[in-house]
């Protein structure tokens, strides 16, 4: 059993994505003193992932695992697929471009090693400096909805860096939302499960070179429906 598994959902990644993963994982090896298991989940990419890129990952990373499916289902579905096959004592998930600093990821892992069942990454004060304005508005609006309707201690639910141990893993695998609000569903379930989990909140920082994809408004409509369904379950 490796100490840590890193799960990475992937859908039509930008050029050079495999080099980003290799560089990030090598950096983590030098900082952690061991190589984490790296699980890449192909979420039905329409631009076929290059066999050369996958071969490079397999050659450069000793504990690389590739899984996926043909039809796009969404981030939540991809994460559950990856988490289900993760062998690590602890699991952390992030995005294919590793948008958060290595120090941020290591802090999440250290909190898990210190006894937390779930570690929730939240954006630090500097997060919104280089974020497109529309994303800022959507993020702050969702935080208001979370505070008003769901009454959970953490309103910043969509930060793409979270981790958990075996107890948190069972809660994550119990989620059902297939797209982005899987993060919110997981946090909501983690706070409501009994006996209570030990949940730690950790501020995390973006890398300076992060590039944001264009917002898909049809996905926003889908996520609005997912939020409504979550309210109905509540």
Percentage of residues of the chain with pLDDT beyond 70: 97
pLDDT digits (tens, 9 = 90+) for 31-87: 999 999 999 999 999 987 899 999 999 999 999 999 999 999 999 999 999 999 999
C-alpha closest to that of 93 among 108, 115, 110: 108
- CA 214 to each of CA 46, 131, 134, 218, 219: distance values in angstroms, whole numbers, following the listed order: 17, 11, 10, 12, 12
- Across 173-200, average pLDDT: 96
- Across 110-138, average pLDDT: 88
- Across 179-197, average pLDDT: 95
- Across 123-149, average pLDDT: 83
Dihedral angle sign, alpha carbons of residues 157, 147, 142, 222: positive
Cα-trace Rg, the chain: 17
Is the pLDDT at 219 greater than 80, yes or no? no
- The reported pLDDT for the residue numbered 37 is 98
Is the pLDDT at 215 greater than 70, yes or no? no
Is the pLDDT at 124 greater than 90, yes or no? no
In order of their start, the domains of the chain are 4-233 (3.90.550.10)
- The overall average pLDDT reported for the chain is 92
pLDDT digits (tens, 9 = 90+) for 21-33: 999 999 999 999 9
The secondary structure element, H or E, covering residue 166 is helix 166-172
Is the pLDDT at 181 greater than 80, yes or no? yes
Band of pLDDT at residue 6, cut at 50, 70 and 90: very high
């Amino acid at each position: 059993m490796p100490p840590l598994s890193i799960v990475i959902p992937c859908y039509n990644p930008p050029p050079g994505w495999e080099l980003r993963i290799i560089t990030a994982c090598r950096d983590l090896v030098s900082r952690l003193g061991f190589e984490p298991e790296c699980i890449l989940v192909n979420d039905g990419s329409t631009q076929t992932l290059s066999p050369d890129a996958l071969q490079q990952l397999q050659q450069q990373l000793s504990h690389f695992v590739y899984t996926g499916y043909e039809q796009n289902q969404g981030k939540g579905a991809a994460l559950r697929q990856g988490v289900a096959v993760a062998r690590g004592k602890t699991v952390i998930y992030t995005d294919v471009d590793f948008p958060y600093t290595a120090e941020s990821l290591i802090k999440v892992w250290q909190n898990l090693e210190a006894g937390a069942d779930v570690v929730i990454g939240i954006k630090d004060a500097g997060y919104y400096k280089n974020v497109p304005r529309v994303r800022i508005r959507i993020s702050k609006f969702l935080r208001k909805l979370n505070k008003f309707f769901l009454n959970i201690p953490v309103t910043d639910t969509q930060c793409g860096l979270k981790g958990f141990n075996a107890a948190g893993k069972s809660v994550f695998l119990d989620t059902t939302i297939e797209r982005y609000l899987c993060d919110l569903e997981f946090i909501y379930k983690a706070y409501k499960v009994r006996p209570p989990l030990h949940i730690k909140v950790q501020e995390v920082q973006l890398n300076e070179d992060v590039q944001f994809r264009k917002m898909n408004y049809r996905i926003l409509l889908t996520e609005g429906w997912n939020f409504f369904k979550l309210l109905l379950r509540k």
